[in-house]
């Protein structure tokens, strides 16, 4: 009686499937691996490979077609890919590099030592791609030149529609997605672009010069990747051409690369706002994660010690009026929340700059008005609640007035701090989270006891 085989006609990534896959890897069951992963998206296969050890990962990977393997490599996280690729000999890596777009190939090679990188490039049989890769290796990763791919479709302004379509057919294997055909002159100077729709509707002998649109948005090779992302997001572009300082067309950046930039930027700012100083993931080592978290925890603890020392100066005040201690957490917590809210709004405006942005003076005035309104409403609410709780009127006034002033001060700090950091080219995301909370705690306590001193005449 034949053993019943598991149903693998429909792919579903779950614990049961992963256990069966790991068993197949141990048993070297090639048929199961090929059948179960046939037609599965490369991103899903890369997720599966994370769950295998290096040896098992390499064995499964070698069962994939070269084209699929190249896609999987581009989907892997950088840290994982860097270690995984080390298990390949240079000649083993060459077929996968040749299947990649030039920008993805450069990303993989830049993660390897220089000697290993050059050994791979020297073995490439596609001399055009080899030239593309060498050109792109000169650019830093965080500029337009480091994001762009060399593969694109361009047409000379003197060509006819027929000639251009022939060029598209010639390049179809190298260019997976054609968003536009870029128009250049004999010196490769970018002049504009022409849509596929206009070419298909035009007569075969029509000149590109009569069809192209000379209003084309481009970026220069040295432009920062965040500026590129802002431009593509602002103008809703699927792809943008890249030119050098002579305005010669040298490549293009597609939307998938920009999405990666936006995602990385958001993760970096989120980690900074959370008090994590390095780019870490859950799969990283305990030491790496601890090292990333520790600096801001130490800074926060140092701030707490300063606050404790500062609070010690008011020990006699608390002994005279013990009820003052009851409302300290309320004042500091409110100040911290207000500061984070204010800094978050400023960070949002800094991330989406506009030529029509308000001046610093108008921003501060608006923040002041918002803080005044919120401070008055919160102070009035607290005044009512603390009075109903039966506390003496003098303490009620101290807490309400202190809270009002803390809201004003925290709003000011939350607004000014990211603006100042941005002015000095320091990531303004540092102004949120542990930093602004610690500062506002100390300032809030200072305001609270200063008001108590004045009203109680201590």
- Judged against a pLDDT cut of 80, whether residue 318 lies above it is answered with no
Q: Which two three-digit tokens encode residue 323?
A: 């009820």
Note the pLDDT tens digit of each residue in 201-260: 999 889 999 999 999 999 999 999 989 998 998 899 999 999 999 999 999 999 988 888
| Helices (H), ranges, 276-359 | 286-312, 315-320, 328-351
Note the pLDDT tens digit of each residue in 341-377: 888 777 777 766 654 455 667 777 887 888 899 999 9
Query: Can you state the percent helix, strand and coil of the chain, rounding each to 5?
Result: 65, 5, 30
The Cα 169–Cα 14 span in angstroms is 42
The Cα 43–Cα 352 span in angstroms is 30
Note the pLDDT tens digit of each residue in 401-430: 999 999 999 888 888 888 887 787 777 766
The Cα 71–Cα 104 span in angstroms is 9
Kindly provide the b/e burial profile for residues 107-126, where b requires at least 16 CB atoms within 10 angstroms of the residue's own CB. Answer: bbbebbeeebbebbbeebee
The Cα 450–Cα 458 span in angstroms is 10
| Helices (H), ranges, 138-206 | 144-147, 161-171, 196-201
* From 126-130, 318-322, 333-337, 392-396, the region with the lowest mean pLDDT: 318-322
pLDDT recorded at residue 19 = 84
CB 436 within 8 A of CB 303: no
By CB neighbour count within 10 A (0-12 exposed, 13-18 middle, 19+ buried), where does 425 fall?
exposed
pLDDT recorded at residue 270 = 67
The Cα 405–Cα 398 span in angstroms is 11
Domains of the chain, CATH where assigned: 15-138 (1.25.60.10), 154-266 (3.10.580.10), 286-456 (1.10.357.20)
């Amino acid at each position: 009686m034949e053993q019943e085989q598991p149903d693998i006609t429909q792919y579903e990534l779950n614990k049961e499937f992963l256990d069966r896959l790991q068993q197949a890897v141990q048993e070297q069951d090639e048929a199961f691996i090929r059948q179960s992963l046939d037609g599965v998206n490369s991103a899903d296969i890369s997720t599966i490979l994370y769950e295998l050890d290096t040896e098992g990962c390499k064995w499964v990977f070698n069962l994939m077609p070269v084209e699929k393997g190249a896609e999987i490599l581009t989907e892997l996280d950088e840290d994982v890919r860097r270690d995984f690729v080390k298990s390949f000999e240079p000649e083993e890596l060459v077929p996968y590099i040749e299947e990649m777009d030039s920008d993805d190939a450069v990303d993989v090679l830049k993660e390897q030592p220089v000697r290993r990188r050059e050994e791979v490039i020297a073995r490439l049989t596609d001399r055009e791609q080899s030239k593309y890769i060498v050109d792109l290796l000169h650019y830093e990763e965080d500029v337009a030149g480091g994001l762009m791919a060399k593969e694109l479709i361009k047409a000379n302004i003197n060509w006819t529609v027929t000639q251009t379509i022939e060029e598209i057919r010639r390049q179809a294997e190298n260019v997976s997605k054609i968003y536009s055909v870029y128009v250049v002159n004999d010196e490769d100077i970018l002049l504009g672009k022409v849509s596929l729709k206009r070419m298909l509707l035009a007569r075969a002998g029509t000149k590109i010069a009569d069809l192209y649109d000379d209003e084309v948005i481009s970026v220069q090779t040295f432009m920062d990747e965040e500026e590129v992302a802002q431009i593509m997001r602002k103008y809703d572009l699927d792809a943008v051409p890249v030119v050098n300082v002579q305005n010669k067309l040298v490549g293009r950046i597609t939307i998938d690369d920009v999405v990666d930039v936006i995602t990385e930027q958001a993760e970096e700012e989120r980690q900074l706002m959370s008090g994590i100083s390095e780019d870490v993931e859950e799969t990283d080592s305990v030491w790496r994660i601890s090292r990333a978290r520790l600096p801001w925890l130490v800074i926060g603890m140092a701030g707490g010690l300063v606050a404790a020392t500062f609070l010690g100066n008011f020990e006699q005040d608390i002994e005279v009026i013990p009820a003052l201690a009851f409302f300290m957490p309320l004042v500091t917590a409110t100040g911290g929340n207000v500061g984070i809210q204010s800094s978050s709004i400023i960070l949002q405006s800094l991330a989406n700059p506009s030529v029509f942005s308000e001046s610093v003076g108008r921003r501060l005035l608006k923040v002041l008005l918002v803080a005044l309104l919120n401070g008055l409403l919160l102070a009035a609410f607290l005044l009512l609640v603390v009075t109903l709780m039966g506390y003496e009127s003098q303490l009620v006034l101290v807490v309400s007035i202190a809270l009002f002033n803390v809201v004003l001060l925290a709003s000011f700090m939350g607004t000014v701090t990211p603006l100042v950091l941005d002015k000095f080219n320091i990531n303004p995301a540092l102004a949120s989270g542990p930093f602004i909370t610690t500062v506002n705690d100390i300032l809030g306590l200072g305001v609270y006891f200063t008001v108590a001193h004045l009203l109680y005449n201590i």
